[in-house]
Amino acid sequence: MSFKINVSTIVLAALLLTVPGEFSFAQATGSVLIQNATVITVSGDDLENTDILVQDGIIREIGQNLNAPRGTGTLDATGKYVLPGIIDAHSHLNGIGINEATNPVTPEVTMYESINPNSVSIYRALAGGVTTINLMHGSANVIGGRNATLKLRYGLGQNELKFKDAPQTVKFALGENPTRVHGQGNGIQPRTRMAVETVIREHFDEALDYRKNREAYLEAKERYDQNPQGNPPVPVAKNLRLDVLADIIEGNILVHCHSYRADEILMLARVFDEYGIENYTFQHANEAFKVAPELAEYGAHASIFADWWAYKFEVYYSTAYSASILNENGVTTSINSDSNELIRHLNHEAAKAVHYGQTSENDALRMITLHPAIQLGIDDKVGSVEIGKHADLGIWSGHPLSIYSINEKTLVDGVVYFDREADPDDVRLDRAIDPVVDYDDTSQTFYESIEGRNYDACMADVFMLFESSDNRQSWNQQIHNH
Amino acid sequence: MKKYTTIWTGVIFLFLFPFSLTAQDPPAYAVENVTIHLADGSVIQSGTIVWREGVIESVGANPSIPYDAFTISGGDSLHVYPGFIDGLGYWGTPDLPDPEQVSDPGNPGYERAGIEAQRSPEDLELDGDEITEIMKLGVTTAAIGLKGYMLPGSADLFFLNGDHTADHLFRSSVGMEFALEGAAGGWGNRAYPSTTMGVMARFRQLMYDAEALKDHIEYFASSEGSMTAPKRNRILEAMFPVMENEIPLFLKVDSPEDIDRMLVLKDEFDYDVVIVSAKNAAYKAEELKERGIPVLVSIDLPEKPGWMEDEDSDPSGEEEELYRQRQAEAYRNAAHNIRNLLDHDILVGFASTGLSAKDFHEKILALKEDGDLSEEEIIQILTVNTASVLGAGSRIGELRSGNIANFTLFNSSYFGEEPEAKMVISNGVIHEL
Amino acid sequence: MKKLTTLIVLLAWTGILTVDAQITEKPEFGRFAITNITIHTVTNGVIEDGVVLVEDHEITLVGKNVRISNDYQIIDGTGKHIYPGFIDSMTRLGLVEINAVAVTLDHAEVGDFNPHVNAFTAINPHSAAIPVTRVSGVTNVVSVPATGIIAGKATLIDLWGYSPDAMAVKGAAALHIEWPTAMKNSPNDSRSDEEVEEKFQGELKELNDFWAKAEFYNRMMNAFEENPQDRIRPDKDLKMEAMREVVTGELPVIISVNREKDILNAIEWAEEHSDIPVVLNEVREGWRVADEIAAAGIPVIVNTLYTPSRPYENYQRPYQNPGLLAGAGVKVVMGSGDTENVRNVIYNAGYAATYGLGREEAINALTINPAEVWGVENRLGSIEQGKQANLIITDGDPLEPATQIEHVFINGFKIPMTSRQIQLYDEFLDRDAVNR
């Protein structure tokens, strides 16, 4: 095995040579002509022997025998497949904290303020062809924090990871997790699915009242400050939590709701219908297939696991055929990872929809590209290979649904962030290396090695204590609690 | 005139005590025949310092010693350094109590949440023993803050005087400490906020509430009209001086990511800031320079990897060899943090922020050896720079006439193996060791 | 052929009518002729356009151009492939129903030394996950108890049968040891190196003492049993009795171990107990010591879908681990470590195949290799005359996710191709159809 660092991509070169204070990276975009690939556009038909011209990070032309403008490099993709960058609509890949689990309602917190740009997991996800993630708040709270839509520009700082102009999204959670954390754990509502609904309604109503009162105060204040006559207005303090809630009701923030059972899914759909909230996504939603016709009617989306089930009671009656059922019923469905392991091969998670419900290959691939883009409100920018969209692309050795295909290059905004031909073993960023940890100590990080479902990413921060409660390296001792 | 002499070596007292035990203090003091290290790097051999009523009267090679100055001879072997200034330390302050269990973790109340902006060390008893320990290291002045979580309280600047430190307050509220620390408590007794993003949200809400209260108080005071009386709140009101840019927030952060987070809040509320601790702040040097933000830096360098000093330690293979290269680079980066900040012309002072007194001198030597800082630069950071960050540069920091008499007499250069403080002059008060 | 068509129609009907159809749906049993099919024998190459005959529990013929009497049910395999049923060598199937519901967990007994507990006892033949698993092509699993140092005995079962007795291929298939680690157990482990080493040495001593006691007990009992007349019968000790078949080397010992240093320690232990057939399980850092494992002649149970164990490690190492081990000469078998998604053992094998193990060896790791490791190579693991009829019929490469498993035979039973997950699909694909 060679340990030689053979770095050719500009980003890796830059990140490995970073000198503190000497290096700041603009939001880089690249220009390149990808030649002679089989292009899986996802939005339309696959295109054989096709070139893609990328300029300044944007797909400018798709066609045959395109010419590279002066100064634009070429990338020969003969025999290769180009897939839009995979989008993971549910991830906790690189948060410094995931769950503000101390209160059942916390939309005032945002994962944009919890980004760890230094996690090696980002690189490992890129290696799997992923270019965009929904870095989600955890599922401890009925109304959790806002999520962060990120591009995996590994090597850059947290601000440069943000997906520019992506709409805000927020996490909700129904069922076992919030009732267990707050009801069972702290003796405060909700303890049941009944109160999950009332917690949402109470807070929505409070937010609407607040917005009315706050706006009335601001008007009165303006009047009074200009002309201080009569009684001064009593200040109504700005309230971040209620502001976000009011914005949710007004449709400015997309809801992504952790949910499992059909009844709770319908509950939220009813409540949202009443408050006029549209364009939301049920996350996990293992039983969404049971109410697929209703979801289609409400226009609600589903973002699901390909085949996870039975790790907790509320997912016992679920099926790996659910992606196909939802798809057939007209529900916009994505397949997500919720795992730093699964995110490495979402293409093959999508392949499971082909295997189980015999969903078409193109529909299956949409579930990890265009559909999550729709659910995150960024489908005008990414999610398919189309002129004008961002050049977020994976170049695969074969058809990405084949088990024998390997992602060879990942481009974000036309910049190569992963190249299997220049793939050093140690891709840690300088600023992330703790000089106190010796080589011999580092295998203690072994316990960060995770297997998909066994690691409870969604409930991170809440059940941390359990994770290292036994010093024996059992093959499967962690808890299952998504 | 009575000459005071003593044997400087061989006797070590465990405790400091004020020198002035006699019934009547002399009108002035002088030390002569000492090597004076000025903060600007220049050295005066066989120099003399004269001070009167706590203020330096003269510093130089041959100033005339006034007739009424009680004179101490250094016998040519002593080294005088300007008194070091700690930009933020917790010396002598009480330890944190165990957090109480809360019945509603989402609404724990201000104090349980770690919001104690109203607290101030000048209202507390300070433990003189701890303070004495750092005086032996040459520190004569310290902004003392409080241990805590998100907003532990304000920091007050004291001249250190052992048990009597509380009597020597120099300035109150030189800064208000703010850290991205969740509320106290671990598994089972956490409280809001428990995450960094929670702290940020909680801080915003605190500011919004403070703004509303401030408006309310002002409206109420300015109008005769009918109006509900404002509900006064000491904690929110303690934030008013921050909002009015009367005192800066001392942002206690280390990583570039946390610095980013703090700057987001600064941009939202536009308060004055000092970055404190700042162990990896060099990664943000350009931005700090551009924004003109000063730093009170920690000198708590990470421990040097053992293998770097062990010639017999061979790596097990290529993988370890590469690992070591990067580890060594990481150590170098950490050690060069201050070097890089200075190279960007950032004003860098010093803050101990939890460093233990016993490690202090060792870290200073490491800064010189591995951090690529000159002795002069280190002294400047510990004295005039810190004074300047604290806005006290016209009174403390340098040894010059008109400044407050803060300096320490060591038996050797401070950069020797084990320099021993023999006498500390703090706010003009002599402490003999 | 007509009979089969009718049956399929009937199955479709019952699927629509009730979700519980599976409870009454029976497998078929008797004589089957699978014709015109590509036979992947595993042990004797590939036979194109071949025939496999199944009668009662056995494969009675594997060949070409066979005349088939008309009392065989014919399954036309044109364009199809037949493989031996896949074996997952590391599961909790049947022992765990819902991981988060403690009362449904029967895999982890209290105490550090439990050689006397046997997974066989607690296998629930009606676990919802069993049909889900077998229709995906996995016909056999080893179900393994966990926790403690000696966790208990694993069982090798067919995934068809109304009782553990009917399912058992080997009631007791192996003893499971969770190897005591000599490493810190998390990044937050604040113990000193000395404390960590002391804990390891303590646990190792406990294991060795227990072993020595078991060896003594076995010798004592043998001596008594050879000549009981003149001797007083020693008191029976259930744990020690359970160890007799282990210390004599009749039963393999699975050692679950992951990290480089721990693997080397486990190899040392195995070499000190050279009469005992040892199998290392999980070995995520196995590729680091592949030569040492190969030199010790120890087979390994591996999977591929986890993240690299060290932060400075290449992203592909988990995928490459089986290939690197096999390349060094280690016998590799696949074990998912899963319960409800044991079906993904095939997916794990696919990654191993792609990243160095190769397709053929990956299939071996699901078939003949585990059969040999568990000492059932005369019954399972290949398509050979006289072997138990555990077979799967596919429309393509079974490692490819798009491939469909069309038929499954377990112990000669032609298994109904349904499970709760399929029934839910049938019921909900067009949920409101019956109301129209």
Contacts of B205 in chain A (CB under 8 A): 108, 239-241
Nearest to A474 among C146, C187, C424 (CB): C146
| pLDDT at residue number B52 | 95
Nearest to A312 among C98, C178, C258 (CB): C98
Chain B: touching chains (3 or more CB pairs < 8 Å): A, C
User: Do C62 and C384 meet the contact criterion of CB atoms below 8 Å apart?
Assistant: yes
| pLDDT at residue number A462 | 62
Q: What is the DSSP string of B21-46?
A: -SSS--SEEEEEEEEEE-TTS-EEEE
Whether C15 has a pLDDT exceeding 70, the answer reads no
pLDDT confidence tier of residue B8, bands split at 50, 70 and 90: very low
Nearest to A431 among B198, B280, B305 (CB): B280
Determine the residue among C366, C423, C424 to mutate to test chain A binding: the one whose Cβ has the most chain A Cβ atoms within 10 Å: C424
pLDDT tens for residues C151-201? 999 999 999 999 999 999 999 999 999 999 999 877 778 888 899 999 999
3-state secondary structure of A211: helix
Determine the residue among A122, A294, A471 to mutate to test chain C binding: the one whose Cβ has the most chain C Cβ atoms within 10 Å: A471
Q: Check CB contact of A183 with chain B, cutoff 8 Å.
A: no
For B185, the closest chain A residue by CA position comes to: A102
CB contact under 8 A, C181 and A124: no
Q: Check CB contact of A227 with chain B, cutoff 8 Å.
A: no
- How far, in Å, CA of B119 to CA of B154, rounded? 6
> Which candidate, B87, B93, B94, B92, places its Cα nearest to that of B157?
B87
Contacts of C186 in chain A (CB under 8 A): 444, 447, 467-468
Q: What is the DSSP string of B297-315?
A: E---PPPPPGGGG-TT---
pLDDT tens for residues C382-422? 999 999 999 999 999 999 999 999 999 999 999 999 999 99
Average pLDDT of the residues of chain B: 92
Nearest to B282 among A21, A224, A234 (CB): A21
User: Do A301 and A326 meet the contact criterion of CB atoms below 8 Å apart?
Assistant: no
| Burial label, B17 (beta-carbon count in 10 A; 0-12, 13-18, 19+) | middle
| pLDDT at residue number A3 | 34
Determine the residue among B316, B318, B319 to mutate to test chain C binding: the one whose Cβ has the most chain C Cβ atoms within 10 Å: B319
ipTM above 0.90, yes or no: yes
Tokens at B215, concatenated: 């408006």
Q: What is the mean pLDDT of residues C98-124?
A: 97
Contacts of B320 in chain A (CB under 8 A): 439
Count of H helices and E strands in chain C?
14, 16
pLDDT tens for residues A278-289? 999 999 999 999
Q: Check CB contact of B345 with chain A, cutoff 8 Å.
A: no
User: Do A124 and A344 meet the contact criterion of CB atoms below 8 Å apart?
Assistant: yes
Question: Residue holding tokens 């106190």?
Answer: A436
User: Do A145 and A170 meet the contact criterion of CB atoms below 8 Å apart?
Assistant: yes
Q: What residues contact A135, with CB distance under 8 A and at least 6 apart?
A: A91, A92, A93, A94, A95, A111, A114, A115, A147, A148, A149, A150
Contacts of C183 in chain A (CB under 8 A): 443-444, 446
B46 Cα to chain C: minimum distance (Å): 51
- How far, in Å, CA of C107 to CA of C122, rounded? 8
CB contact under 8 A, B190 and A101: yes
3-state secondary structure of C161: coil
CB contact under 8 A, A232 and B197: no
pLDDT confidence tier of residue A16, bands split at 50, 70 and 90: very low
Q: What is the mean pLDDT of residues C2-11?
A: 43
Q: What is the mean pLDDT of residues B75-94?
A: 94
Which value, in Å, is the radius of gyration of the alpha carbons in chain C? 23
Q: Check CB contact of B191 with chain A, cutoff 8 Å.
A: yes
CB contact under 8 A, C353 and A403: yes
Contacts of B319 in chain C (CB under 8 A): 312
3-state secondary structure of B368: helix
| pLDDT at residue number C12 | 43
For B322, the closest chain C residue by CA position comes to: C312
Q: What residues contact B198, with CB distance under 8 A and at least 6 apart?
A: A97, A100, A102, A106, A109, B182, B192
CB contact under 8 A, C178 and A451: no
pLDDT tens for residues A32-81? 999 999 999 999 999 999 999 999 999 999 999 999 999 999 999 999 99
> Which candidate, A394, A457, A478, A409, places its Cα nearest to that of A94?
A457
Contacts of A107 in chain B (CB under 8 A): none
Tokens at B383, concatenated: 């004295």
Tokens at A434, concatenated: 């703790």
| pLDDT at residue number A479 | 33
B323 Cα to chain C: minimum distance (Å): 8
Whether C435 has a pLDDT exceeding 70, the answer reads no
Give A54's strand partners: A32, A59
Tokens at A44, concatenated: 């339309």
Contacts of C311 in chain B (CB under 8 A): none
Average pLDDT of the residues of chain A: 89
Using CB atoms and an 8 Å cut-off, which of residues 106-145 of chain A contact chain B? 106, 108-111, 113-118, 145
For B346, the closest chain A residue by CA position comes to: A21
Whether B256 has a pLDDT exceeding 90, the answer reads yes
Contacts of C350 in chain A (CB under 8 A): 348, 403-404
Angle (CA) B173 B178 B181, round 5°:
145
Q: How many residues does chain A have?
A: 482
Range in A448-452, B12-16, B26-30, B65-69 the model is least confident about: B12-16
Chain C: touching chains (3 or more CB pairs < 8 Å): A, B
3-state secondary structure of A292: helix
Whether A324 has a pLDDT exceeding 90, the answer reads yes
Tokens at A298, concatenated: 């409400």
- How far, in Å, CA of A80 to CA of B417, rounded? 65
| pLDDT at residue number C230 | 83
Nearest to B192 among A102, A230, A232 (CB): A102
| pLDDT at residue number C7 | 44
Contacts of C312 in chain B (CB under 8 A): 319, 322-323, 326
- How far, in Å, CA of C330 to CA of C267, rounded? 13
Whether A465 has a pLDDT exceeding 70, the answer reads no
For C19, the closest chain A residue by CA position comes to: A317
A120 Cα to chain C: minimum distance (Å): 7
By percentage, how much of chain C surpasses pLDDT 70? 94
Measured over the CA atoms of residue B240, residue B246, residue B247 and residue B249, the dihedral's sign is positive
pLDDT tens for residues C259-305? 999 999 999 999 999 999 999 999 999 999 999 999 999 999 999 99
User: Do B113 and B183 meet the contact criterion of CB atoms below 8 Å apart?
Assistant: yes
For C288, the closest chain B residue by CA position comes to: B319
- How far, in Å, CA of B96 to CA of B357, rounded? 19
Count of H helices and E strands in chain B?
11, 18
Contacts of A302 in chain C (CB under 8 A): none
Q: Check CB contact of A468 with chain B, cutoff 8 Å.
A: no
pTM over 0.80: yes
| pLDDT at residue number A10 | 43
3-state secondary structure of C47: strand
